[in-house]
């Protein structure tokens, strides 16, 4: 059961601009090596029971649109053959140590994407299902047990499809607090639905940025050259570090959240995306 915390979601150009402009970002990884660097990244991925992820990639490869090497992530997942609910699969990489990282910036590219529409079900609403890429993680804890996600505050910015039958790519942002040890239930910060940050063009690069502004109790999100958007988390204590592993499980990720469905032939969700020029604020790397 998700509950909503009423918080300010606003565009504060002067305030946000001053924060973003004051930060010095450094390149964390531009993926110019032959393989992913184990000193910088660790891999993550899973598929819910009943689903079938039969095709996936996680590797560095040349990207013609980006005109450089980049991280390529792809995932084709077939739906769980059931009559209700949803299931998920994901694939990505995590910063080996995200401690002190409060800003993540990445150039991303969605090359191919498909969100299935289950004809036999009429209960699927926008944001019930999602095919997306995203960057983010947990940035602080409001006071919870060690070795647990409980009370970790998580935020992300991503690009994907969230409305069955609508193939318009959008950038979205969201913040939430974990309400149990595995973060299976959450309290939304800024509203139940992700904040729409505008459209994105398929197979065209775009720069995404997420910042946890600890001084002003807000997350700041930016999609390309559109104005930055802030979600306030005023009222939450942010003095404790996140309990999630690796300094907050900050990550680059693709994710398929699909409707369980008995349509034939069996439906699938698919995304093929690239990430490049990963930059962060200047912590102790």
Separation in Å, CA 17 to CA 23, 92, 175, 280: 10, 30, 20, 17
3-state secondary structure of 22: helix
- Res 4: pLDDT: 36
Average pLDDT, the chain: 92
Q: Annotate 158-217 with DSSP letters as a single string.
A: EEEE-STT----EEEEEEEEE-STT--SEEEES-SSPEEEEE--TTS-EEEEEEEETTTT
- Res 144: pLDDT: 74
Confidence of residue 7 (pLDDT cuts 50, 70, 90): very low
- Res 284: pLDDT: 53
- Res 185: pLDDT: 94
pLDDT at 11 exceeding the cut of 60: no
In this predicted model, what pLDDT tens digit does every residue of 155-207 receive, in sequence order?
999 999 999 999 999 999 999 999 999 999 999 999 999 999 999 999 999 99
User: What is the rounded radius of gyration, in angstroms, for the C-alpha atoms of the chain?
Assistant: 18
Give the architecture (CATH level 2) of 3-8+26-257+270-281. Sandwich (2.60)
Comparison of pLDDT for 5 and 169, the residue scoring more? 169
- Res 15: pLDDT: 52
- Res 145: pLDDT: 76
pLDDT at 6 exceeding the cut of 90: no
| Spatial distance between the Cα atoms of 149 and 142, rounded to a whole number of angstroms | 11
**Does the predicted model carry a pTM greater than 0.85?**
yes
Specify the DSSP class assigned to residue 56: E
**Nearby residues of 18 by Cβ (< 8 Å), 6 or more positions away:** none
3-state secondary structure of 85: coil
- Res 170: pLDDT: 98
In this predicted model, what pLDDT tens digit does every residue of 15-33 receive, in sequence order?
555 455 467 999 999 999 9
Using CA atoms in the order 78, 82, 87, 89, what is the torsion angle rounded to 10 degrees?
A: -20
In this predicted model, what pLDDT tens digit does every residue of 207-216 receive, in sequence order?
999 999 999 9
Where do we find the tokens 């020029």? Answer: 277
| Spatial distance between the Cα atoms of 115 and 202, rounded to a whole number of angstroms | 14
Helix (H) or strand (E) holding 258: strand 251-259
In this predicted model, what pLDDT tens digit does every residue of 88-134 receive, in sequence order?
999 999 999 999 999 999 999 999 999 999 999 999 999 999 999 99
Average pLDDT over residues 58-84: 97
């Amino acid at each position: 059961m998700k509950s909503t915390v009423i918080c300010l979601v606003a565009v504060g150009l002067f305030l946000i601009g001053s924060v973003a402009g004051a930060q010095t970002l450094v390149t964390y990884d531009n993926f110019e090596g032959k393989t992913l660097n184990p000193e910088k990244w660790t891999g993550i991925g899973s598929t819910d029971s009943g689903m079938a992820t039969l095709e996936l990639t996680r590797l560095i490869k040349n990207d013609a649109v980006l005109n450089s090497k980049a991280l390529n992530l792809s995932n084709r997942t077939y739906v769980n053959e059931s009559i209700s609910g949803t299931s998920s699969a994901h694939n990505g990489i995590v910063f080996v140590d995200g401690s002190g990282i409060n800003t993540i910036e990445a150039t991303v590219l969605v090359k191919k994407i498909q969100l299935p529409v289950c004809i036999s079900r009429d209960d699927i609403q926008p944001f019930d299902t999602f095919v997306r890429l995203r960057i983010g993680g947990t940035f602080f804890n409001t006071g919870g047990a060690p070795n647990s996600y409980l009370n970790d505050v998580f935020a992300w910015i991503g690009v994907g499809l969230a409305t069955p039958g609508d193939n318009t790519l959008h950038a979205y942002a969201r913040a939430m607090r974990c309400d149990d040890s595995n973060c299976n239930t959450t309290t939304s910060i800024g509203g139940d639905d992700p904040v729409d940050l505008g459209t994105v063009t398929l197979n065209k690069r775009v720069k995404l940025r997420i910042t946890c502004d600890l001084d002003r109790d807000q997350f700041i999100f930016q999609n390309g050259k559109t104005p930055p958007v802030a979600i306030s988390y005023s009222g939450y204590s942010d003095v404790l570090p996140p309990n999630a592993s690796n300094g907050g499980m900050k990550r680059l990720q693709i994710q398929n959240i699909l409707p369980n469905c008995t349509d034939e032939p069996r439906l699938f969700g698919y995304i093929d995306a690239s990430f490049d020029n990963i930059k962060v604020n200047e912590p102790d790397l």
